[in-house]
Amino acid sequence: MLAKIYITLKKDVLDPQGSVIANSLKSLGFNNIEDVRQGKFIEVKLNAENKETANKQLNEMCEKLLANLVIEDYKVEID
Amino acid sequence: MKSHVIVFPGSNCDRDVAVAIKNISGHQPQMVWHKEMSIDQSDLIIVPGGFSYGDYLRCGAMASTSPIMQDVVKKAKEGVPVLGICNGFQILIESGLLDGALMRNSSLSFICKDILIKAKNQNSVFTKNAQVAKMPIAHNEGNFFVTSEQLKKIQDNDQIAFQYCDESGNVSEHSNPNGSLENIAGILNENKNVLGMMPHPERAAELAHGCEDGKTIFESILN
């Protein structure tokens, strides 16, 4: 089973890297940029009985290690 | 006096802090490899600076899962003083011993320079001798952040150990090197026996360093 995990900064946390990327995109002529937020993408391959068990485990992985819940949100998708 | 310095792959301030402790207390700290399962009886545990595990995922995240950290957390909860410096501070946060998060510096640059800090809480075992002190910072992720609820909690409970300040001790945006909330340079846990700080007192602990202000923190713990 392949899981895709998206980790993003919470909305109220400043993302200076995102702001710099937005400025660079604008300097390339993409003038319609409104905002850029940078995050992490992690793929996890795992053996699990079913999607429900996998989802539970993956959420636990995010909460224990993969995301820092003080500043980050996460989203799990299973193929 | 028995002290222990935890060594992770990528630690690079472990020897510096051991030398500072030896010079100040006369006792040689014991170095403890991160794969050890436990630490002997200890009066002080140091989690040193460096780049443990190459800062993979988030600074300190990998090291917080090292076998020895379970015993560090256990000893901290029993009241043993634990000091985390720079990457050590990041590791203590990732271990759940301290609140908040250390984000990338607001300037997006690695900052390596002398700064000034002053102790906000002057009653902890680490900060009882502290005045305005000069010591270096050397980090890319030292931008301290907590949620507004957590900030209120650490303020109400007097857990802010150090704040970046100017020569007169004024805490202002101008004296904030990395964007930290409330100029926070170091925080304590609720019981005040765990301190995490970004500045390096062990790099300002003898005349050859050009400044000895960092000694006050070690003297506060060791004497």
Catalytic status, residue B86: yes
- Residue B68: both structure tokens together: 């020895």
Closest Cα partner for A71 from B109, B142, B103? B103
Please state the rounded mean pLDDT for residues B18-28: 96
pTM of the shown model? 0.94
Best A70, A72, A73, A74 member to test B by mutation, with max B CBs in 10 Å, is A70
pLDDT of B98-144, one tens digit each? 999 999 999 999 999 999 999 999 889 999 877 899 999 999 999 99
Closest CA to B124 of B58, B213, B217: B217
B56: amino acid identity, one letter: Y
Residue B1: the pLDDT is: 86
Query: Can you tell me the mean pLDDT for A47-54?
Result: 95
First vs last C-alpha separation in chain B: 9
Q: What is the pLDDT of residues B160-175, one digit of tens each?
A: 999 999 999 999 999 9
DSSP string, B167-190: TT----GGG-SS--GGGEEEEE-T
Q: Could you give the number of structural domains in chain A?
A: 1
What's the pLDDT score for residue B130? 75
Sign of CA dihedral A26, A31, A35, A37: negative
Rounded distance between C-alpha atoms, residue A67 and residue B1, angstroms: 38
- Full residue range of the structural domain in which residue A11 is found: 2-78
Domains annotated on chain B, with CATH: 3-222 (3.40.50.880)
CATH label of the domain that carries residue A20: 3.30.1280.10
For A18, counting Cβ atoms within 10 Å of its Cβ (0-12 exposed, 13-18 middle, 19+ buried), the class is middle
* B130 in Cβ contact with B90 (< 8 Å): no
Sequence-ordered alpha helix ranges (H) in B95-162 = 148-156
Q: Which of B34, B86, B139, B209 is catalytic?
A: B86
Query: From chain B, which residues contact A within 8 Å (Cβ)?
Result: 57-58, 61, 65, 94, 99-101, 103-104, 106-108, 145-147, 150
Phi, then psi, of A4 in degrees rounded to 5: -115, 130
Identify whether the C-beta of residue A31 lies closer than 8 Å to the C-beta of residue A23: no
What confidence category does residue A7 fall into, taking pLDDT thresholds of 50, 70 and 90? very high
